[in-house]
Amino acid sequence: DQQVKQNSPSLSVQEGRISILNCDYTNSMFDYFLWYKKYPAEGPTFLISISSIKDKNEDGRFTVFLNKSAKHLSLHIVPSQPGDSAVYFCAATIIRGGGATNKLIFGTGTLLAVQP
Amino acid sequence: GAGVSQSPSNKVTEKGKDVELRCDPISGHTALYWYRQSLGQGLEFLIYFQGNSAPDKSGLPSDRFSAERTGGSVSTLTIQRTQQEDSAVYLCASSLDLAGLGYNEQFFGPGTRLTVL
């Protein structure tokens, strides 16, 4: 049972344009969501996160939007740069309450290619 | 400072052999996690160590998989009688434990690519 889903295995955008990566989840207990970026032969690196009490978090060129009613989040990268080309993983976890755990539940990733 | 390190970076083994994968977490990090990424799959949680607490082994796929963490630092993931479906990249992560202060960022190592022939 895939609790976190990334339905687009790949995305190609032109340099300077917006990249939008999407993620859906099924477990309503998740209260913290993250995006990780991964280059080949390297471990994932943290990019940006959002708590379930917010609907938007922005950090420079990166913005994450959360729609709890739709159980959907998205990552926007504006403007996209060739160095952004990597695999992006969406992840979710529970950090509050009796069900709190530090386990990250990951999606299958989206390969972003930013064309110069 | 040094990040999470893992060894070996690559391991090729024959079906039925045992393998050991090592993880050195960031100094001072009390929490340690193992994940794996099989071909075409996302990262799958395997096991979580937190200080002196009993580990959360809920993600281990079978009893052929075990892990230990000695002295609260280095961890070893052991796979006995390897099978071809065990082929994956095994990733280790560590974090601080700031209990009650929200999410503790997990820092990942580069992974060990295991190939079972």
3-state secondary structure chain A: CCCEECCCCEEEEECCCCEEEEEEECCCCCCEEEEEEECCCCCCEEEEEEECCCCEEEECCEEEEEECCCCEEEEEECCCCHHHCEEEEEEEEECCCCCCEEEEEECCCEEEEEEC
pLDDT of residue A74: 98
One-letter amino acid of A14: Q
- Looking at beta carbons, which residues of chain B come within 8 Å of A7? none
Of A36, A45, A95, the CB nearest to B103: A95
CA B24 to chain centroid, in Å, comes to: 10
Per-10-residue mean pLDDT, chain A, length 116: 91 97 95 94 94 96 97 98 97 80 89 96
Å between B13 CA and nearest CA of chain A: 20
The residue among B81, B104, B85, B86 whose CA lies nearest residue B94 is: B104
Per-10-residue mean pLDDT, chain B, length 117: 90 97 94 91 90 87 94 92 96 81 85 96
Answer yes or no: are the C-beta atoms of A106 and A38 closer than 8 Å.
no
Å between B17 CA and nearest CA of chain A: 25
| Per-residue pLDDT reduced to its tens digit, A75-96 | 999 999 999 999 999 999 988 7
pLDDT of residue B99: 58
Note whether B42 contacts A32, CB cutoff 8 Å. Answer: no
Cα distance between residue B91 and residue B79, in whole Å = 14
One-letter amino acid of B44: E
Cα distance between residue A41 and residue A38, in whole Å = 8
List, as ranges, residues 92-111 from B with C-beta within 8 Å of A.
93, 95, 102-111
What size, in residues, is chain B?
Answer: 117
List, as ranges, residues 2-41 from A with C-beta within 8 Å of B.
4, 6, 32, 34, 36, 41
- Looking at beta carbons, which residues of chain A come within 8 Å of B50? 102
pLDDT of residue B23: 97
List, as ranges, residues 46-85 from A with C-beta within 8 Å of B.
46, 49, 51
pLDDT of residue A99: 62
pLDDT of residue B100: 57
pLDDT of residue B22: 97
pLDDT of residue A50: 96
